[in-house]
Structure formats: structure tokens, C-alpha cells
Amino acid sequence: MQFSESLKKNHQFLFVYKNGRSRANKYLVMYVKENGLGINRIGISVSKKVGNSIVRHRVTRLVRESYRLHENIFNSGLDMVIVARKEAAEVGFYEIESALLHLSKLHQVIKIYL
């Protein structure tokens, strides 16, 4: 991800959860908070409720790749936390990609409305 960094610390996730706006669909929940840094920071959270470690890492990779492919259409200066729901374990890349773009439209954080 050339334009973005990762949220790594627990307090960063908690700040976005507490102060950000949230929207959800069948597979993902997205929290968004402006950070004023000029770059995007993204955090991906997949609970043990989704599945074992293999399934959780697969879902994480799918979400990260979906974001990476469309990174250039996102507005700058955002902290985003994407939480995977249990149903995300059973779907493929295109459903995750569609869910991420749908939430981005709901948050109005993309430059080009597809």
C-alpha cells in the first residue's frame, strides 16, 4: 500500500471506534475518522468468531488486497478500521471487494463514485 500506513496500536483502534462514524453491511463494518495527516491509515480486525487462524488471515488478506487495488480512489487523511463479520469467512474476493466499495460509498470517502 503505497499511499497508506497500518494502524497497529490498540489505542489507535480504540480512538477510531470511539470517535469515528460507522457503517455496516453483510460482510464488513467500517469505522472512519479524519486524522489530519494527509495519509490514510487502515486497520483490519478479524475476531476469533470468524474462524480459526487460517480463515482469519485469509479474510484479512482479502480485505487488504481489496483496499490496495482501489487505494487511489480513497480520499486522503483518514483513519479507517474495517471489522470482518462472521459471514465474510464464507465468501470470495469479489464479494469482499464489493462490500468494501459499498461501505466507502456510504461514508463518502471515495473520489470516484462507481
Instruction: Dump pLDDT digits (tens) for 88-99.
Output: 999 999 999 999
For residue 113, is it within any domain?
no
For the chain, the domain total comes to 1
Q: Is the pLDDT of residue 113 over 70?
A: no
Q: How confident is the model at residue 86 (pLDDT cuts 50, 70, 90)?
A: very high
Whether 112 is covered by a domain: the verdict is: no
What's the domain range around 40? Answer: 4-107
- 27-75 per-position pLDDT tens digit: 999 999 999 888 999 999 999 999 999 999 999 999 999 999 999 899 8
CA end-to-end span of the chain: 21
User: For residue 54, what is the domain's CATH number?
Assistant: 3.30.230.10
User: Is residue 71 in a domain?
Assistant: yes
- Whether residue 35 is contained in a domain is answered as yes
The pLDDT tens digits for 7-16 are: 999 999 999 9
pLDDT at res. 2: 66
Selection from 113, 86, 90, 106 nearest residue 30 by Cα: 106
Q: Would residue 114 count as lying in a domain?
A: no
